Amino acid sequence: MTEIRFDALCIGNAICDVFAHVEEDFLVKEDLVKGSMRLIETDEAVELFNKMGQTVRVSGGSAGNTAAGIASLGGKPAYFGKVAEDELGDSYYHDMNGTGVYFNTPRLREWKPTARSMILITPDGERTMNTYLGACTEFSPSDVDEDVVAASAITYMEGYLWDPEEAKKAFLAAAEIAHKHSRKVAITLSDSFCVDRYRDEFKGLLSDGVVDLMFANEHELKALYQTGDLDTAIDAARNSGAITALTLGKEGAMIVTRDETVKVPAQDVDNVVDLTGAGDLFASGFLFGLARDYSLTTAAELGCICAASVIKHVGARPERPLKNLAAQSGFEV
């Protein structure tokens, strides 16, 4: 059997967040609605990027954030995601590897630039977001490195991969390889709209044993089982055949299996600044814990500590080593 070299392999949309401070008249000139969030096409993405001036760039994407969190815990994560051979692709590649994430997916050489979310911040702090998906939608089965999947204790994938047909095939290929090597497969449902698009297929992944572990928040789980009642959704998840890691915001988290339900309280946070990365970083702690043979309760407790840390500042990546924070809380990392 292949030796385990990675705690988790995280697979998802590789998106670079690009921040710029602009004046109000910039939005007017570019005909942008202040505070809006929209998807844009290639030509507009390139043109707007070139007009942004001085920028701050941060590698993003849900699975990428989770991988970075595992690395911050002192773990060994790998990452699959598609970027282009361009300036932002260079930034993403070096940023991920620089944080301790193994990232070596072949880069796209033509026609679509690296995905980016261009975030324009006006003097009042309002954010206007313009997202271009570009190269990340070209992730395909040929990008799935069997050796890396086989060497990963858990393969963790975004539900967003179900949107492009080739990425869906890549998801299924990675899951098949993982199970062939007796590894675990996890999915994060991504968002409730994604669940609405692929509800039956996601349920099939659970019932057919393609997925062993599902990450969801309350809205996503209710959407999956088409109910407004959380207890009803939890009962359905209990019978899904998979372990469910359910995040509940300030109420903490719940781990649901066929045989047990574990409730873990959230950490106290006096000043919540940005909730963006909470779910991604909960997954970091939980996956790290499972890979290191923690109990479900202990893994969820570590997940809640990681989530609490990231919501204290702007951005979805850790600002200080999570390994130190975990050690201070009594975890063996």
Query: What is the pTM for the complete model shown?
Result: 0.92
- Confidence class of residue 314 from pLDDT cuts 50, 70 and 90? confident
| 124 has pLDDT over 90 | no
Domain positions in the chain are 6-329
Q: Higher-confidence residue: 266 or 72? A: 72
**Residue 288: predicted pLDDT:** 98
Percent of the chain with pLDDT over 70: 100
Least confidently predicted of 21-30, 189-198, 291-300, 315-324: 315-324
As a whole number, mean pLDDT of residues 326-333 equals 87
The dihedral built from the CA positions of residue 282, 320, 15 and 183, taken in this order, carries a sign that is negative
- Confidence class of residue 97 from pLDDT cuts 50, 70 and 90? very high
**Residue 318: predicted pLDDT:** 87
Least confidently predicted of 49-58, 155-164, 217-226, 255-264: 49-58
| 35 has pLDDT over 90 | no
As a whole number, mean pLDDT of residues 111-117 equals 91
**Residue 316: predicted pLDDT:** 77
Percent of the chain with pLDDT over 90: 78
As a whole number, mean pLDDT of residues 244-264 equals 96
Tens-digit pLDDT profile for residues 179-225: 999 999 999 999 899 999 999 999 999 999 999 999 999 999 999 99
Q: What is 6-329's CATH number?
A: 3.40.1190.20
